[in-house]
């Protein structure tokens, strides 16, 4: 028995059986505070329940972040929307809720030249969606395609694609860098077809749709891939000067020791997820 008149060892066993680890760790301090402040029993119970839910949300987000493999430090707060005026911040923030498109298996496509912030924005959207309880995977397209090729050689391509279904959103970064090889493009096409109207994708690409024949060697496959991706999709054309090029020019103009003006070009610190898983 402890000072509160409770058999702590027995209570620990009960909370273990009920799978309430946060309450198991914190009930004693909450009980002491409740006694000191004269909480009614209902408030004490509510505080314990809210604490358990908050800790479960925190642990879930931590797991989802570890699985997502997002780019470190890329957040919406550090994205310079002023430098990309054709992208509405309000529209992006609405998309980050996810319920208006991810539930429907719709897609988001970011088009534009290198250095325009596509990868940053894609990863930042992924982070915001995780905070809103969606499961996300960020991958360079060429890396994921190579893994799927290995799965195909081992007669496991269908299973590998099915395992990706656990992610509500699959972010394929740098689609245009896939080698124009029949084996690579065919597994990419199978992935796109498998997720069509079932699971959402976010695509970043340096080339407009008219140049995607450079990715898919078969014109019919190009047309079919584009058709599946743009159907039920939101498209942002981010045709701006390269952030990296502008940052280099600014550093040269400002001299040594002066920071770049745009947060998107800076190495921001590790992300801090809010409390809220091939």
Mapped onto helix, strand or coil, the DSSP state of residue 136 is strand
Contacts with 122 (C-beta within 8 Å, 6 or more apart), sequence order = 110, 138, 171, 173, 202, 204
> According to the model, what pLDDT value does residue 253 have?
57
Does 175 share its domain with 252?
yes
**How far, in Å, CA of 72 to CA of 275, rounded?**
18
- Res. 3: pLDDT tops 80: no
> Mean pLDDT across the chain, nearest whole number?
84
Tell me if 255 is assigned to some domain.
Answer: yes
Residue 248 pLDDT exceeds 90: no
Give the range of the structural domain holding residue 34, as residue numbers without chain letter.
Answer: 8-66
Q: What are phi and psi of 215, to 5 degrees?
A: -95, -50
Which CATH number does the domain housing residue 171 bear? 3.40.50.300
**pTM for the predicted model, two decimal places:** 0.74
Asked whether 129 and 58 are in contact (CB, 8 A), the reply is no
187: in domain: yes
pLDDT at 246 over 70: no
In the predicted structure, residue 208 carries a pLDDT above the cut 60: yes
Class of residue 28 by CB neighbours under 10 A (exposed 0-12, middle 13-18, buried 19+): middle
The predicted structure's pLDDT at residue 249: 52
Query: Do 232 and 183 fall into the same domain?
Result: yes
What pLDDT score was predicted for residue 196? 95
pLDDT at 63 over 70: yes
- Count: domains in the chain: 2
Q: What is the average per-residue pLDDT within 77-93?
A: 94
Determine what percent of the chain is predicted with pLDDT higher than 90.
Answer: 54
| Mean pLDDT, rounded, for 239-262 | 55
Mark whether 125 and 242 lie in a shared domain.
yes
pLDDT over 70 percentage in the chain: 83
> Are 17 and 145 in a shared domain?
no
Asked if residue 132 and residue 45 are part of one domain, the reply reads: no
Residues 14-38 pLDDT 10s = 888 888 888 888 888 888 899 899 9
pLDDT of residue 274: 39
Q: What is the dihedral of CA 43, 44, 45, 50, to 10 degrees?
A: 80
**Closest C-alpha among 242, 176, 173 to residue 211:** 176
The model's confidence at residue 251, banded by pLDDT at 50, 70 and 90, is low
Q: Are residues 137 and 215 in the same domain?
A: yes
């Amino acid at each position: 028995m402890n000072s509160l008149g409770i058999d702590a060892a027995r209570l620990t066993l009960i909370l273990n059986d009920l799978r309430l680890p946060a309450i198991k760790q914190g009930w004693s301090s909450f009980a002491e505070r409740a006694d000191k402040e004269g909480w009614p029993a209902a408030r004490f119970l509510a505080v314990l329940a809210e604490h358990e839910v908050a800790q479960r949300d925190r642990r879930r987000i931590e797991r989802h972040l570890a699985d997502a493999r997002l780019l470190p430090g890329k957040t919406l707060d550090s994205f310079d929307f002023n430098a990309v005026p054709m992208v509405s911040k309000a529209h992006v923030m609405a998309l980050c809720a996810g319920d208006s498109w991810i539930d429907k298996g719709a897609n988001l496509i970011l088009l534009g030249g290198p250095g325009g912030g596509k990868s940053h924005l894609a990863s930042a959207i992924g982070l915001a969606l995780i905070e809103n309880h969606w499961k996300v995977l960020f991958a360079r397209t060429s890396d994921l395609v190579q893994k799927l090729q290995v799965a195909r050689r081992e007669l496991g391509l269908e299973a590998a694609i099915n395992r990706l279904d656990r992610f509500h959103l699959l972010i394929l970064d740098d689609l245009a860098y896939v080698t124009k090889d029949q084996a690579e493009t065919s597994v990419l096409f199978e992935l796109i077809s498998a997720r069509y109207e079932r699971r959402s994708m976010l695509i970043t690409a340096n080339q407009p749709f008219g140049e995607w024949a450079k990715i898919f060697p078969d014109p019919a496959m190009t047309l079919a891939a584009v058709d599946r991706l743009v159907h039920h999709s939101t498209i942002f054309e981010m045709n701006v000067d390269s952030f990296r090029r502008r940052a280099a020019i600014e550093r040269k103009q400002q001299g040594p020791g002066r920071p770049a003006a745009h947060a998107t070009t800076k190495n921001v610190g590790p992300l801090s997820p809010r409390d809220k898983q091939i």
